[in-house]
Structure 1
Amino acid sequence: MSDTDLTRNDVNGAAETSAAEAHTHEAHTAADKGDAGYDKALKARHIQMIAIGGSIGTGLFLGAGGRLAQGGAGLVLAYAICGIFAFLMVRALGELAIRRPSSGAFVSYSREFLGEKGAYITGWMFFLDWATTVMADITAVALYMHYWSLFKPVPQWVLALIALAVVFVLNMMSVKMFGEAEFWFAAIKVTTIIAFMVIAIGAIIFHAHTGTAADGTAYTAGFHNITNYGGFLPQGLTIVFSLTLGVVYAFGGTEMVGVAAGETADAQKVLPKAINSMIVRIFVFYVGSVLLMALVLPYMAYSSAESPFVTFFSGLNVPYAGDIIQVVVLTAALSSLNAGLYATGRTLRSMAIAGSGPRFAAKLNAHKVPFGGIMITSALGLVGVVLNAVLAEDAFNVIMDLAGIGIAGTWGMILVTHIAFMRRVRAGQETRPAYHMPWAPYSDYISLAFFAIVVVSNFWSESGRKTLALFGVVIVALVIGWFAVRGRIKANLLDSMLDEEQN
């Protein structure tokens, strides 16, 4: 029996066991032809680090600085609330992925439960998410490089182009190479955050000097950085709500674990551990880090132009500390960029095989990598290079807001797909895996409402209205695109249900 056959037999469908034949069950599994040809070379340690690396990127290492400068310590609330809903979304995705691991992930699941129109919306929303994230990541790399005087004469767009080229080459290699790169990228990020937290706690305990204001005022670490500068909500609660889209962007990538499941051996055992540990990582790494940032420096000491980690370590006057952290945050941006090209390549291939994406995206190279989809995303990444040339100062925030809407849309479609799955469960057509989303489908509806509120809340800011207007253009393009491709959709992409008895 081939590896593909084994995969089809092992993954979950609807399993029923009779009392008379407790040792035998009949597995009903929908196999997606879009998963054919991939190399299942990712191991447990790769998945664990991809789950970590996907959820820790430029949103924390760069974006948190600007958001702290606007919202102060109240930003902690935004991270905590968004983190809870991000975890619920991943649990919903995890239930579907354990039932049937697929490199098409939520696109493939939408195809199964919502039909090709659902797969089309989910796939292109996810592509918008990561295509814009790729632009944000190359922008972050360019901003990081300008930290050093050696690179300041180099135009920002040139540095962005170099970053895109380097990661493009890395993604064209085998999936194992991607897994190894992401493993070490993530290890560096986690080590850095832990080091920051330990040193920050020490600085708070000993009220260490952490910097100097423009007027010569010395900053020291401690709770007074909150109490003496406007309290927990120095700019009010409204600004915290307006920052939630950026926080959703920060958590973008948590869904990456679902994509990687399709190229993982023994996904049913690996995924639950990776997903369950995510809520701990969110509260320790994100909420904990942001709280400590608010305690070691006043909120107005941070800036959108510099990583808050660099701001802190540079303020300690430790020799080369700022340079070392800058290298780390540069690694974080490259990690996120690496993951973005990986995910969009797989998603575009699933859509191309269905007929709802460019045919070129369906191609695999000799390393079993979907080079067509990766090349398309990289080509669109060049738009980010242009934005860096035209909007050098505002490029990151403009792109980040649009990516945030794409992420919220993707997560929303994952939840809608899970709701459709739950309807089949209630109808007796499906059996839930032992590992499933808690309190579903009510948790699905509450999470959907939250992400909708996050998107709509942008209407109350000028920049948010511009982002919503741009997103409206995207919606119109999606509608036009659907009518253009619906005539060539392959409705039989999902194989007929396979009925086999297994002992």
Structure 2
Amino acid sequence: MPSINETAAPVRSGLPRDEGLRRGLRNRHIQLIALGGAIGTGLFYGSGESIGRAGPAVMLCYLMGGVIIFLVMRALGEMSVHTPTSGAFSYYAYQYWSERAGFVSGWNYWFNYIGVQMAELTVVGRYVQFWFPGVPAWASAAVFVVIITAVNMVEVRAYGEIEFWLAIVKVAAIVAMIIGGALIVFTGIGNGGHPVGVSNMWVHGGFLPNGVTGMLTGLVVVMFSFGGVELIGITAGEADEPRKTIPRAINQVVYRILIFYVGTVAVIVALFPWDRLGTAGSPLVTIFSGLGIAGAAHILNVVVLTAAVSAYNSGLYSNGRMLHSLSRQRNAPAVLGRTNRFGAPYAGVLVSSGVTVVAVVLTYLFPDTVFLYVMAVTTIAAIINWTMIIITGMKFRTRMKASGEASAGFRMPGSPVTSWLVLAFMAMLVVLMAFIPSYRIALVVGPIWLIVLFVVYQIKVRVQSCE
């Protein structure tokens, strides 16, 4: 990625932003879009692998990861409140770092969310097969691609309403699952009157059954679950009152996610021996099926399917807006900046949706392994994205200090110490990936992807200089 010491380009006050998009998202939309974007496959399906590595200590993984993501979001929030735009961190990198940084940041985020969308699609078929084993997983994925693409072609308020209710389903289910799980643990309701207790947290090899190493490798898997929270920054360009809604969303959504994630995995490892969960389907469905609760597994399967569809929906929304912003920076073809009569960036949506069709093909070719590999590549892209947000935030604050301009009152806490802490954490994640076989592919794909971006950027600069 661009060097942290790269000389920042002058602020481009005349750079066009968000033309054609409409401010139609209200506070409740933004709260639930951000929450829904982060509560998806990483929790409902990917948590099986993280529990398998860390055991009950996975709760600590979510806590540590949550603190880091909160700091990343505060860095992004400081810039979003100052300059609300759907280009978010790409636009800020372009403004306060360099044109190349804006190019790399925007296209990497697009690549990141393409991976998220592909991960969601690869498991949709598995959830459908819970009821219809004979339906090919790739066929289910293809149907959902068409439906969600159509949703993203309408006006943003309609999208906000749809995502609001999809997220409500997920949140209500998680709350019910936590409360219901607690009743089973402490009262035995739903388990023949026999309280399960919390001994499963330590009797199967201890709280740290695989030691500190297991917990650290579990942390890598957990970080995939937090991908999507930065969607708050993307919504700023279409929010009614961004300087009020963005700080509120960031502060509330992060701690809600922590409660949901930590609460959910706490119930999971208390109800069922961690070493019997594995990666075969959603741990939530596995738990309630194993406890013999009539109908609960079917209800939860509806929820996890809704979660995957919702997360794919949020990914397509954000990618359409990111391509729209990149085109305005002249960092993407001009056609991707076009909007339809509803104010939706239809070109960016269609291109993003078309690329994710690759997931349908991969699901057909590699149904048993595609999810883990897509999750690995998505995680390295997310790490690059979070790293660039922190570095851009540091450059933003330097620029504000030099100019004497206020940063709109929503500051990154503990900066610059906390910024360097986040960067060190991201470096540690990259090192840990080398110890996880399914994640090693990310250490190859990540550098290759960055090299491709640098080369394409240089080609773009030369072409534009000849125009």
Shorter-chain TM band? over 0.9
1:436 correspondence with 2:419: no
Partner of 2:87: 104
Amino acid at match of 1:438: P
Q: For 1:402 and 1:464, locate their aligned partners in 2 and report how far apart those are by CA, in whole Å.
A: 7
1:34, 1:349 within 8 Å by CA — same for their partners in 2? Answer: no
Q: For 2:343 and 2:353, locate their aligned partners in 1 and report how far apart those are by CA, in whole Å.
A: 18
- For residues 313-363 of structure 1, the C-alpha deviation after alignment (integer angstroms, 9 at most, x for no partner) is 223322211111100110110110000000011111111222222333122
1:98, 1:433 within 8 Å by CA — same for their partners in 2? Answer: yes
- For residues 409-457 of structure 1, the C-alpha deviation after alignment (integer angstroms, 9 at most, x for no partner) is 1111111110001111332343122121101122111111111211221
- For residues 374-421 of structure 1, the C-alpha deviation after alignment (integer angstroms, 9 at most, x for no partner) is 111111101111110111001111101111111111111111110001
Q: For 1:359 and 1:177, locate their aligned partners in 2 and report how far apart those are by CA, in whole Å.
A: 26
Q: For 1:200 and 1:372, locate their aligned partners in 2 and report how far apart those are by CA, in whole Å.
A: 45
Partner of 2:41: 58
Number of matched residues?
Answer: 454
Question: Quick one: which of 74, 81, 92 aligns to 2:64?
Answer: 81
2:141, 2:360 within 8 Å by CA — same for their partners in 1? Answer: yes
More divergent stretch after superposition (45-54 vs 192-201): 45-54
Amino acid at match of 2:148: V
Displacement of 1:159 in angstroms is 1.3
Mapping of residues 211-360 of structure 1, within 5 Å: 221-360=196-335
Question: Quick one: which of 64, 73, 90 aligns to 2:73?
Answer: 90
Amino acid at match of 1:424: R
1:356, 1:489 within 8 Å by CA — same for their partners in 2? Answer: no
Q: For 1:122 and 1:221, locate their aligned partners in 2 and report how far apart those are by CA, in whole Å.
A: 48
Q: 1:265 aligns to what SS in structure 2?
A: coil
Question: Quick one: which of 379, 383, 388 aligns to 1:404?
Answer: 379
1:31–1:233 distance in 2 versus 1, CA, 3 Å? farther
TM score, norm. by length of structure 2: 0.93
Partner of 2:149: 168
More divergent stretch after superposition (254-263 vs 65-74): 65-74
Partner of 1:459: 434
Seq. identity, %: 34
Partner of 1:178: 159
Q: For 1:394 and 1:296, locate their aligned partners in 2 and report how far apart those are by CA, in whole Å.
A: 27
1:445 correspondence with 2:420: yes
- For residues 153-180 of structure 1, the C-alpha deviation after alignment (integer angstroms, 9 at most, x for no partner) is 1221111111111111111111111101
Mapping of residues 34-45 of structure 1, within 5 Å: 34-45=17-28
Q: For 1:119 and 1:298, locate their aligned partners in 2 and report how far apart those are by CA, in whole Å.
A: 46
Partner of 2:183: 202
Q: Structure 2: 5+ residue runs without aligned partners? A: 1-10
1:68–1:165 distance in 2 versus 1, CA, 3 Å? same
Displacement of 1:126 in angstroms is 0.3
Displacement of 1:207 in angstroms is 4.4
Partner of 1:145: 128
Structure of higher CA gyration radius: 1
Q: For 1:356 and 1:270, locate their aligned partners in 2 and report how far apart those are by CA, in whole Å.
A: 29
Displacement of 1:279 in angstroms is 3.3
Displacement of 1:34 in angstroms is 3.0
1:51, 1:254 within 8 Å by CA — same for their partners in 2? Answer: yes
1:93–1:231 distance in 2 versus 1, CA, 3 Å? same
Question: Quick one: which of 386, 390, 411 aligns to 2:361?
Answer: 386
Amino acid at match of 1:296: L
Q: For 2:199 and 2:190, locate their aligned partners in 1 and report how far apart those are by CA, in whole Å.
A: 13
1:111–1:29 distance in 2 versus 1, CA, 3 Å? closer
1:410–1:489 distance in 2 versus 1, CA, 3 Å? farther
Amino acid at match of 2:74: R
More divergent stretch after superposition (331-340 vs 478-487): 478-487
Cα RMSD of the aligned pairs, angstroms, is 1.9
Q: 2:342 aligns to what SS in structure 1?
A: coil
More divergent stretch after superposition (127-136 vs 444-453): 444-453
Q: Structure 1: 5+ residue runs without aligned partners? A: 1-27, 212-218, 491-503
Amino acid at match of 1:261: A
TM score, norm. by length of structure 1: 0.87
1:192 correspondence with 2:173: yes
Partner of 2:109: 126
Amino acid at match of 1:202: L
Q: For 2:464 and 2:166, locate their aligned partners in 1 and report how far apart those are by CA, in whole Å.
A: 38
Q: For 1:32 and 1:99, locate their aligned partners in 2 and report how far apart those are by CA, in whole Å.
A: 16
More divergent stretch after superposition (311-320 vs 445-454): 311-320
Q: For 1:400 and 1:109, locate their aligned partners in 2 and report how far apart those are by CA, in whole Å.
A: 27
Q: 2:434 aligns to what SS in structure 1?
A: helix
Q: 1:460 aligns to what SS in structure 2?
A: coil
More divergent stretch after superposition (473-482 vs 188-197): 473-482
2:372, 2:438 within 8 Å by CA — same for their partners in 1? Answer: no
